Chain A
C-alpha cells in the first residue's frame, strides 16, 4: 500500500535533508572539520511489517538515542547507529581509546548529544518548513540488538501504527557511517503529518 505519494515523499525527504544540513553544521562546529550528513531515502511501513531486513542484519548492536515529541502529531523518534561505527565517531570526536564494553558514562553522554543534535535539527527543520511547533522529551540512550529493536517496535506495532524510516549517511573525515532515523507514529498522527506536507506543497507549488 502506498501511504504517501511520490511528491509527498520527495517533500518529506527535502525537509529531512534541510535538517541533516543543520545537524552537519552543528557537528562540524564541534569537530572542527567538515561533516557531511544526508538522508538519501525514506520509507514508510506499517509497524507490523518491520523486520530485521530494514536494519541490515550484519549489524550486531545498535546505539540508539530516542526522544518523544508532541505537537500537531505525536511520535517517538529513534536514531540508530551501528554501535561500532557510532563509537568510532564519538571517539574520533573526543580521542578516547576505550573498548565497547567499557563504554564510559561520558561517552554515553556524548552519544546522547550526537543523537540530540541530529534529532533536534530534523525536528526544527520540520517546525520551520511545515510551520508547526513541537515539543520534545530529553534524549535517552541505550544499546540494543536488532531483535530487541524489532521487539520494541512490535510491542507498539498495533495495526494502526506506522513507521517512518530515514536512511542516513554520515561522513566524518575518516569514517563513513550509515544510520537510520525512525519515527514511530499512529495512523492519526501520520494523517496529520501528511496534511501538513500537503499544506507545505501548496505553498511552494
Chain B
C-alpha cells in the first residue's frame, strides 16, 4: 500500500479477516490473492491456490456465466455482477460447518472489479459473498407475505375478496383497459330486503345466507381476471373485462337467476317468497382521463333504479 500514513496494522490481516471471499487473478487468469475465507469455504489452501490458473483449479466446475464475466473484467475492463438469483452457486464453495462427503454448495453473489497491476496489466478482483442466509430469509419472508396478503384481501365472513382488494384490482383493470382499449363491466349487487331477513331469521342465519350468496356469485365467474368481492354489508361488486353491453346484461341476468335459484325462503321479502338480488350493471371502454368514478357511479345509479323499480331485477346504466 502506498498510503502516506502508516496503517499501524497489516493489510493482510484485513484481507484475511473480512467475511467475504477475496481472489485476485492476473491477465493470464493466474491466482494472485486467495484470502482465508476462500480457503475455508473452498477447502483449497492458499499455497495450493496461488499461482494456479483459476480455470485449471476449478476445471469444468466454472459456469459459462462466470467465464463471461471474468472475460469482461480482464479483457475489456468492465466490472460484472453474478447474482445469486440467476447463478445460485457459480464456484464450488461450501458451507463451512458441513463436513460431509457431499457438502451443500453455498449460494453466492459475486462481484468482479477490474484492477490494474503495478506494471499496468489488467487484473481482476473477485469478491464472493455468501447469500445462503439471505436466500433463506427471502423465502421465509415470501411465504409470510403471501399468507398476510391473502388475509388482507379476503372478507372474513364470506371468504371472497374484500373491498380493499376490489379497489386495487379496479385500478389495475382500468389501466389495462385503457392500454388495450378494451371494455370493462361493473356489476353492483344488493340482496333484497336483507335487513328484514336478519330481523326475522336472526343474525347467524343472515351470515349463513351471505356466505351462500357470495359463493354462488363467485361460482359464476369464468376467467382469471374476473373479480368478485364483498363491497359492504349485503352489497357485492363484480368486475369483468372484455364484455359487450349485451353480454354484460346477459351475465347480470345470470347472476340474478343464480341467487333466485338457490330458493332460500324469505317470508319478509316484498318481491317474492324467497331470497333475491338487484343488480346494476354498466359497461364502458375507459379513455385516458378516466379515473373509474364514472363507471362506479353509473353502476351504482343503475342499482338504485333497480331497487326503486321493485327489486329482483337487472338495470343497465349508461
* Closest-CB distance, A186 to chain B (whole angstroms): 21
A29 touches B76 (CB 8 A): no
Main secondary structure of the interface of B (DSSP, over half): helix
Residues of B within 8 A of A137 (CB): 79
Chain B proximity mask over A84-116: 1 for CB below 8 Å, otherwise 0: 000000100110111100101111011011001
Answer yes or no: A2 CB below 8 A from chain B CBs.
no
Residues of A within 8 A of B233 (CB): none
Give the A interface residue count (CB, 8 A): 35
Give the B interface residue count (CB, 8 A): 33
A106 touches B76 (CB 8 A): no
Chain A proximity mask over B50-94: 1 for CB below 8 Å, otherwise 0: 000000000000011100100010011111111111110000000
Residues of B within 8 A of A99 (CB): 149
A22 to chain B: closest residue by CB: B68
B179 to chain A: closest residue by CB: A58
Answer yes or no: B111 CB below 8 A from chain A CBs.
yes
CA distance A192 to B65 in the complex (A): 32
Answer yes or no: A13 CB below 8 A from chain B CBs.
no
- Tell me which of A128-136, A142-150, A153-161, A197-205 binds B: A128-136
B77 touches A106 (CB 8 A): no
Residues of B142-177 contacting chain A, CB below 8 A: 142, 145-146, 149, 175
B179 touches A94 (CB 8 A): no
Residues of A within 8 A of B267 (CB): none
Do A136 and B85 contact each other (CB < 8 Å), given the known contacts A29-B64, A104-B141?
Answer: no
* Closest-CB distance, B243 to chain A (whole angstroms): 23
B138 touches A135 (CB 8 A): no
- Tell me which of A42-50, A119-127, A177-185 binds B: A119-127
Answer yes or no: B278 CB below 8 A from chain A CBs.
no
Contact of B86 among A69, A97, A110, A138 (CB under 8 A): A110
Contact of A135 among B85, B114, B134, B141 (CB under 8 A): B114
* Closest-CB distance, A7 to chain B (whole angstroms): 26
A97 touches B146 (CB 8 A): yes
Residues of B within 8 A of A110 (CB): 83, 85-86
Residues of A within 8 A of B87 (CB): 30
A90 touches B81 (CB 8 A): no
Spell out A's residues near B (CB within 8 Å).
Answer: 26, 29-30, 58, 60, 67, 69, 90, 93-94, 96-99, 102, 104-107, 109-110, 112-113, 116, 120, 123-124, 127, 133-139
Sorted nearest first, the 9 A-B pairs with minimum C-beta distance are A110-B85, A109-B83, A113-B83, A135-B77, A110-B83, A124-B76, A120-B78, A94-B85, A113-B81
Beyond the given A30-B65, A110-B85, could you list 10 further A-B residue pairs with CB under 8 A, ordered by the A residue number? Answer: A97-B142, A97-B146, A106-B131, A109-B109, A113-B81, A124-B76, A135-B114, A137-B79, A138-B81, A138-B113
